Structure 1
């Protein structure tokens, strides 16, 4: 269970007063220390092995606390893909908001597009796509590398929740990408449908330019040496690398910077001249039409052309970007667990994960 709250510091202060047994020794350092630790890594604080009683039924659960701003940032930018990755899978949302609902649709749509690039096949089964999507947040996870997690976890998640994945992604697959993904055959309500995927050079360029901004910046940083000549002439991509985070929420006025309306942006894009970027505030460049951004970007066009001709570069570079995004924050979260759970509960948690790994290995051998 994950709670996204507006003020984690105030929340922890109140929760320590009411449920101090949920916390490790960090509670003796005060809520400020807990909030500091929470902000490390993926920006979430977990309390594991908490005993609760719901309607007379005793339960043991693990709950995490994060800020609404951290959740929004990860959905919009894929800064760590820690929270966004959890929402790639079917979850029960107790309370939603229009903004979070909209951003999660963006998150889910990008998970589909990224998985289509990673699979890089003209036709894919629905189950293949869901396995790729569910596996994104485990790529680079140190727990898998040290045999501290069930190696069949992703497979089990998809097989046990296939109908829920279908409910989550079918509206997106049927309506969001008519030029990219089309259903070939299969029962629309049950079974494993097959989709045709149009990974033309144009579609590859469109997918890459539309990926969440922090993730996209990491991808461009990996490739900037290979395409240095194109990058030197590309103000748009230079700005994307220099400012890797899209600020979704801001309480600060833009101030003296000029502003343009959406109609103004469309008017500017009637010509393909990249020099017109100087007439548009940099904070509005992200909202230019995709076709225009591709047209004025030599870096993106060259990148898409090469990736179409050399799919192995596409797959390895995207995989490295996902691993870089997931790995560092997942490692910090694992180390944080010793502090947030305490030594005894951390050992109990690690032992439980190790048992699941050994059980999966035994099942494979049989």
Structure 2
């Protein structure tokens, strides 16, 4: 109780500083050179970025005290936790009178250790898998995106009010790998949208530091996918929010509301704006986008929402492509391996990416230039996102039958379907 009170007081001052936006400048490439070149292997504890440069990631919610009280209930070791989804931030098209399930993800150093302790405290949270021991729980959790979910958990806050929560557990290594390489775009995709940080242990803050790179990568991919050269800020955020749903089987079979992305952005526009402010400034400084004047916005976009003129020259496209997360970049390069084989033989940097050789330089070469100028590049990029998302998403869906049990899995699928049918 005392620790919870102290954390909430610290949270207050953190939010106070965040609201003043102290020190939030543009994203800086030099912080992430080893991450771009080596992915997870290049993650350093000494990335030179301070908390004051990450205030864009700290969001406000109307129920943050209750969320922090719920986190206090977990006695097992959690290094980092965040809340997301409809139960944390409002979305358009849903009945606000209904109390939605609160979604959380806990990032832990050792999932096996967490589940061992958590099973002793909350045995009722686990499905029939607990009868087969911790090894079975840990092994199932490793498949797909590496997240083990316990859904439809009833938990009391400090006021003894019942709350329905769903919490996932993922290893810190898997989390950092996804943020730095886009191995699945599962955790990274959630952190590309506004989330509420609930618990932070230790001083290194590697999740937040790597998330700045994740946000920059998502912004860059969204720009590369744009067809028009004048873009509406809302449409840009919708494209970013859409990335983690592309290729997700639930969207294909009607398990998710087809308007989900629009509903997220319409209610969280200001949060998206705050989250991507330093990234927007970076791309403005790089000359990739230019902020339109108020007159141009009204004339060209038809509303007062901020607009941009996209200035994607070949060199700028090459620069964005060459700094994309490592596993994702490798998949993109593989798509052109046969088509531009001659160029690949002359591009040592691209060869190192494809063949997983250690390197430090991220300078784009002739192979990347061919990719950037390819007439079907946009389509290939979209397919690469879908390919990255699809397999982990399918695995996570199938895992739910085991981690949640048949009854809870059916209930979850049915409620998703009902929300799909009744939402705008």
Same fold by TM-score greater than 0.5: yes
Alignment of 1:1-366 (within 5 A): 1-55=104-158, 56-96=160-200, 97-178=204-285, 179-186=287-294, 192-243=305-356, 282-283=357-358, 285=359, 287-288=360-361, 290=362, 293-294=363-364, 297-304=365-372, 306-307=373-374, 310=375, 313-360=376-423, 363=424
Gap change, CA 1:186 and 1:66, over 3 Å in 2: farther
CA contact (8 A) 1:50 1:62 kept: yes
Q: Distance in 2 between matches of 1:94 and 1:185?
A: 38
4+ residue stretches of structure 1 with deviation over 4 A? none
Greater helix percent: which structure? 1
How many residues matched? 310
Residue of structure 1 in register with 2:52 after alignment: none
* Distance in 2, Cα, partners of 1:207 & 1:176: 10
- With over 3 angstroms needed to count, the CA separation of the structure-2 counterparts of 1:177 and 1:224, relative to structure 1, is farther
Q: Is the 8 A contact 2:371 2:377 kept in 1?
A: no
List runs of 5+ in structure 1 lacking aligned partners.
Answer: 244-281
Q: Aligned equivalents of 1:140 and 1:333: distance in 2?
A: 13
Q: Give TM-score scaled by structure 2 length.
A: 0.71
Q: Is the 8 A contact 1:174 1:183 kept in 2?
A: no
Q: Give how far 1:29 is off.
A: 0.9
Alignment RMSD, CA only?
A: 1.8
Q: 1:109 and 1:177 mapped to 2: Cα distance?
A: 12
Tell me how far apart the structure 1 counterparts of residues 348 and 342 of structure 2 sit (CA, whole Å): 12
Aligned mates of 1:333, 1:321 — CA distance in 2: 19
Task: Report SS of the residue matched to 1:95.
Answer: strand
Give 3-state SS (helix, strand or coil) of 1:64's partner. strand
- How much has 1:229 moved relative to structure 2? 1.3
Using the TM superposition, give the Cα deviation of residue 27 of structure 1 relative to its aligned residue in structure 2, in angstroms: 0.8
Deviates further, 227-236 or 320-329: 227-236
After TM superposition, give the deviation of residue 234 of structure 1 in Å: 2.2
Cα 1:194–1:101 change in 2 (3 A) is same
| 1:243-302 deviations in Å (ceiling 9; x for gaps) | 2xxxxxxxxxxxxxxxxxxxxxxxxxxxxxxxxxxxxxx52x2x32x4xx22xx221122
1:1-41 Cα deviation digits (max 9, x unpaired): 00000011000001011101101000111111111000100
- Structure 1 length-normalised TM: 0.81
Secondary structure in structure 2 of the residue aligned to 1:50? strand
